[in-house]
Structure 1
Amino acid sequence: MSKGLAARAAALDILVTVLERRLPLSEAVPPAVAGLEPAERARAARLAGETLRWLDRADRMLKPFLSRPPPLRVRNVLRLALVEIFVAQAPPHAAVDAAVSLARRGPRGKAMAGLVNAVLRRATAEGPERWEALALPRLPKWLRAPLLKRWGREVVEAIEAAHLRPAPLDLTPRDGDAQALAERLGAMALPTGSVRLQDSPQLSALPGYAEGAWWVQDAAAALPARVLAAKPGERVLDLCAAPGGKTMQLAAAGAQVTALDLSPERLERVAENLARTGLQSELVAADALVWEPPGGALFDAVLVDAPCSATGTIRRHPELPHIRDARRLGELTALQARLLDRAAALTRPGGRIVFCTCSLLPAEGEDHIATALARNPALQLDSVALDLPGVEPGWIGAEGLRTRPDYWGEIGGMDGFFIAALRKSA
């Protein structure tokens, strides 16, 4: 099998695995992928990811040419080919020939190969004009409806458009000097203190990697720790800490950090990140809802990055709309509320709490705050903490700070986060 066909076959296997087993792209690694050379493996992952990003438009393009839906594998062959032609700008003849070869390898190979050949030749004859005229891929109804209610059609369509642009790579400098790191890497210093790379280099080859001068962290994901504003010597709890970006920010500020996470395996990654950057934190594998600090000592500040639907990260994880639905949302929002209450119990009088989720859904963000304040009379909003360099006034609402994928659209966007700053009365 040629390298080009091998990468396409691996992309097809990834796509089938994601859609049939509803697995994240990071976990969908069929044997065909593992056996590829690094460059071809990256190409397969990139093609599968782009196909998931454009799946809705590919299906609209195919619909007039199919009297009934073909088997999922064949449908994915067609989707891959269309995205390769109209998004990746591959030569149509090469993409069509590869798709026919892939179809021939599956069940009813001869018949399916003929179907794929006929459909793709008719679809490509329509040209890019028809592809571009089709509506942009939409979010699934369970996610789109609450966003429409919150922000309206224009904003939701801007978010959907932002999801079609692969996310850039952002770095957090250990010493906080974004301008110096940007100059060192030939990158862009962002107004909030992160550094944005313009391409996707090999990270381990970049200056500063070996000495741990920076770590990868989306610009929006770096904001909660900046809102918390840990001070040297403060005792700070990072609740649900893995993979450790916020733990490293807090430790770099000089705080005495306790990084707590339910998963020992995920904490191993935190330990690796701390070791590379030369930062210190106490690591605790425990259930945050029942864990008690030694001696009952309360914390000066607690950061709660609660488990959520992760719908704010679709730019980086285009499979999410296709593998998630609303069924677990009630369970997640209940857990988020309990974690916020637990953070309040672990914070000393006069201490600070930052609650955040990487979700676009108000149910996982804004809707928590009024009920949390009602349950915990000792808590009050601390809107002053949200006034950070680079944070635009329009991002701050009555409940907290909201980032969206369509913000900073001209320089690559950002993940969707909700961040609330709270203070416990003395």
Structure 2
Amino acid sequence: MSQTGVQARRSAVYLLDKVIGEGRLLSELIGAGALERLEPEDRARAQRLALETLRGMERADRILQKHLAKYPPLTVRNTLRLATIELCAGGAAHGVVNAAVEIVARNKRTASMKGLVNAVLRKVAANGEEVWPTLRVPRLPKWLRSPLVEAYGGDVVGAMEAAHFAGAPLDLTAKGDQGALQRSLGGELLDTGTVRLTDAGQVSVLPGYKKGSWWVQDAAAALPVKVLAPKAGETVLDLCAAPGGKTMQIAASGATVTAVDDSESRMGRLKENLKRTRLEAELIVGDVMDQEGQWDAVILDAPCSATGTIRRHPDLPFAKDGSEIGGLIELQAKMLNHALSLVKPGGRVVFCTCSLLPDEGECQVEDLIEARDDVTVDREALNVPGIDPEWITEEGGLRLRPDYWADNGGMDGFYMACLRKA
């Protein structure tokens, strides 16, 4: 096994140790430079291996438990998990096992367990590939699965878990003509206007990337701006804007957009994205609650549990335990009321969250319209190409789930509603 292969695997194990052992998120780790020393190809490989291991960890653990009297330290366990995932996917046993043994041997704290790693993985290599498809689809943790079953039922949650396990294709939003983008890159043009690619490879080398012809944005995440329907000449406020997919959509419509986010580093990414796509927006690093003024339209992608993004971010169930959700629900309500104060009379506010939990979506809007007689839900705003009427909820919002479009890659879980201020 080449040094390159070992380095990518070592880095993947490092990421797993941080996610599972310290509750860190992959996006934070990678953004902080965890993979900077690797060549681009190995960075992509390390990230892919970490994601695949997180998605399939339950199955890997079920296979490994047959060969372990007790679980070894976390780094060794994660090395075994990663190697098991590779072996069960048809990886060459010689290279996978040798790389895992070398990873453990290089660490003084785990070197004594290289024999164990070798023995266990030889057993996994013997029949793991056959056992793998017989195991159940990995389940969500109880802190999340229980409320979702209560909200949607066990069969629906099982379908969501299958979508999570399958992972996500690459979705792109075109700066201009989505048909031209589809013809340029191939893939599929979804009914909502998103171009979807499978096995896209390295994003930055795809045609049109350097010219800023498109940006990466899940199909579900692109819908809130389509519901908002900004027009040339309008002023639009994008709250909690970074990393900027919605800001770029609004700017591309010809509207004048002001983007607000309290994270300087994330706003730095938004600035880079605007430069690449040659789009313009006013950027404000600050607290949403400190903003003043009046706009024609406001979009609020409120801080939430992000439970709708697990198909793309399988680290989330391992890095979080749900303890922050109560505080997020309170913050969402405050932000939504403040967003309504920033829109002109007769204007519209699109409230959205990338959460599967009704408390962070449907319930927020229900509580709002019960408490305020100057706000109505604009159901007509949901007449957007590609939206299934069955996705529209009782209070007039739009509920998206990972199991929708299951046959062609699914979508993120999202909730959104368009609110009109009298």
TM-score by length of 2: 0.94
CA contact (8 A) 2:230 2:255 kept: yes
Aligned position for 1:91: 92
- Of residues 15-24 and 323-332 in structure 1, the stretch that sits farther from structure 2 once superposed is 15-24
Aligned position for 1:215: 215
Aligned pair 1:306/2:307, yes or no? Answer: no
Aligned pair 1:292/2:292, yes or no? Answer: yes
Aligned position for 1:54: 56
Counterparts in 2 of 1:213-252, with a 5 A limit?
213-252=213-252
CA distance in 1: counterparts of 2:217 and 2:165, whole angstroms: 20
1:107 is displaced (CA, Å) by: 4.3
Aligned position for 1:395: 391
Aligned position for 1:374: 370
Instruction: Give the fraction of aligned pairs with identical amino acids, expressed as a percent.
Output: 54
Q: 1:278 to 1:38 in 2, by over 3 A?
A: closer
CA distance in 1: counterparts of 2:83 and 2:63, whole angstroms: 12
Aligned position for 2:133: 132
Equivalent of residue 72 in structure 1, options 71, 74, 79: 74
Per-residue displacement from partner, 1:37-87 (whole Å, max 9, x unpaired)? 221222122111111111111111112222222111111111011001113
- Of residues 383-392 and 101-110 in structure 1, the stretch that sits farther from structure 2 once superposed is 101-110
CA contact (8 A) 2:87 2:124 kept: no
Aligned position for 2:313: 317
Per-residue displacement from partner, 1:94-120 (whole Å, max 9, x unpaired)? 222222222223346564122222222
Aligned position for 1:205: 205
CA distance in 2: counterparts of 1:109 and 1:261, whole angstroms: 43
CA contact (8 A) 1:341 1:376 kept: no
CA contact (8 A) 1:146 1:361 kept: yes
CA distance in 1: counterparts of 2:263 and 2:296, whole angstroms: 24
Amino acid at match of 2:199: D
- Of residues 316-325 and 277-286 in structure 1, the stretch that sits farther from structure 2 once superposed is 277-286
Aligned pair 1:417/2:414, yes or no? Answer: yes
Aligned position for 2:322: 326
Aligned position for 2:144: 143
Counterparts in 2 of 1:115-194, with a 5 A limit?
115-175=116-176, 177-194=177-194
Equivalent of residue 361 in structure 1, options 357, 362, 371: 357
1:375 is displaced (CA, Å) by: 2.7
CA distance in 2: counterparts of 1:96 and 1:203, whole angstroms: 30
Aligned pair 1:7/2:4, yes or no? Answer: no
1:414 is displaced (CA, Å) by: 1.0
Amino acid at match of 1:341: N
Amino acid at match of 2:231: K
Amino acid at match of 2:156: V
Runs of 5+ consecutive residues of structure 2 not aligned to the other structure: none
CA distance in 1: counterparts of 2:249 and 2:109, whole angstroms: 55
Amino acid at match of 1:359: S
